[in-house]
Amino acid sequence: MKAYDDQLTVASQVAREAGAYLREAWQHTHTTHSKGYRDVVTEADFASEKIIIGRLRAAFPDHAITSEEAGADVSEKPIRWLIDPIDGTTNFSRNNPNFCISIAAVEAEKPIVGIVYDPLRDHLFAAQHGGGATLNGETIHTSNIKKIEAAVCAADWGRDVHTREAIWLQTQKLLDKARTLRALGSAALNMVYVAAGWIDLYLSLHLYPWDQAAAALIVQEAGGAAETVSGRPWTPQSKDPLIGATPTLIEAFRALSPGVPK
């Protein structure tokens, strides 16, 4: 039995339960509200979040929780859960199938369990610290692509003008060199696709802890690297640009883009 089996099992069950709700809700008209510049939330975000928080509190009453919509527990606990009830809400609100649930457990600023669940495709990506990464129970690994010229890359645009201008400068360099570039509209899906070897490199200039913690652990446990582009240590709280890829591709990207914002 691995150290975090209980947390991984419960998080997997919780993700599937919330995912079953989203799978049904996705087929219907959504009530969408603006919660900021280029940022929306639906009734399904709150419903999914309620399911996840309720189940985690029942299973782990001595843990803290931070969730995108509900906010953060003030009290500090040894383990904190980071929850994104729908990563890719804009996609969900437009009946675009590229969205997922992201659930991570963090201890001492390091992810120890990560779950990313795509309910429409029934893809459950999972990892625990030191235990490898899986997709529906089968071991996954990052690709063996080592050169930017052969890499399928992905990026997300962010919301504010400064972030979009900065990411455009970097993606221009990737467009010049890489095989191709994708934008799925879900940071967590982009990252776990790196873990599965379906994408070779993912770049984002701004993510929140609940966006990145689960997927970054899954990438790392699949043999890849989730690092800040600047080379500073990555944690779920990092606001530095994040890159997920094989270690070789990260170094190739840094050489290609020495001017990435720090």
Which CATH number goes with the domain that contains 155? 3.40.190.80
Residues 166 and 132 in one domain: no
Out of 139, 162, 191, pick the residue that ends a domain: 139
pLDDT band of residue 78 (cuts 50, 70, 90) is: very high
Region of residue 219 (left: phi > 0; alpha: psi -120 to 50; beta: else):
alpha
**For residue range 211-256, what is the model confidence (pLDDT) as tens digits?**
899 999 999 999 999 988 777 778 888 777 688 898 899 888 888 7
Is residue 249 within 8 A of residue 148, CB to CB? The reply is yes
Range of the domain at 184: 148-256
pLDDT digits (tens, 9 = 90+) for 91-105: 998 899 999 999 999
The amino acid occupying position 6 is D
Q: Which of 86, 111, 139 is the last residue of a domain?
A: 139
How would you classify the pairing of strands 79-87 and 100-107? antiparallel
- Reported confidence tier of residue 261, pLDDT bands at 50, 70, 90: very low
CB 228 within 8 A of CB 241: yes
Domain end (from 78, 113, 139): 139
Give the pLDDT confidence score for residue 186 in this predicted structure: 93
Residue 210 domain flag: yes
Task: Give the residue-averaged pLDDT of 26-43.
Answer: 71
Task: Report the DSSP beta bridge partners of residue 81.
Answer: 65, 105
Cα–Cα distance, 220 to 148 (Å, whole number): 20
Task: Tell me, yes or no, whether 186 and 92 share the same domain.
Answer: no
Q: Which two tokens stand for residue 221?
A: 């446990």
pLDDT at position 145, please?
Answer: 94
Q: Is the pLDDT assigned to residue 19 strictly greater than 80?
A: yes
Same domain as 248, residue 202: yes
Number of Cα atoms under 13 Å in the Cβ half of residue 69? 23
β-strand 152-155 against 201-204: which pairing, if any?
Answer: parallel
The verdict on 91 and 161 lying in the same domain is no
Considering the domain architecture, whether residues 196 and 217 belong to the same structural domain is answered as yes
* 31 part of a folded domain: yes
Q: Does the pLDDT at position 31 exceed 80? A: no
Q: How far apart are CA 18 and CA 124, in angstroms?
A: 12
- Helix H or strand E encompassing 196: helix 187-196
Query: What is the tally of structural domains in the chain?
Result: 2
- Res 71: pLDDT: 74
Examine the pLDDT at 8 and tell me if it is beyond 80. yes
Would 261 be classed as within a structural domain?
no
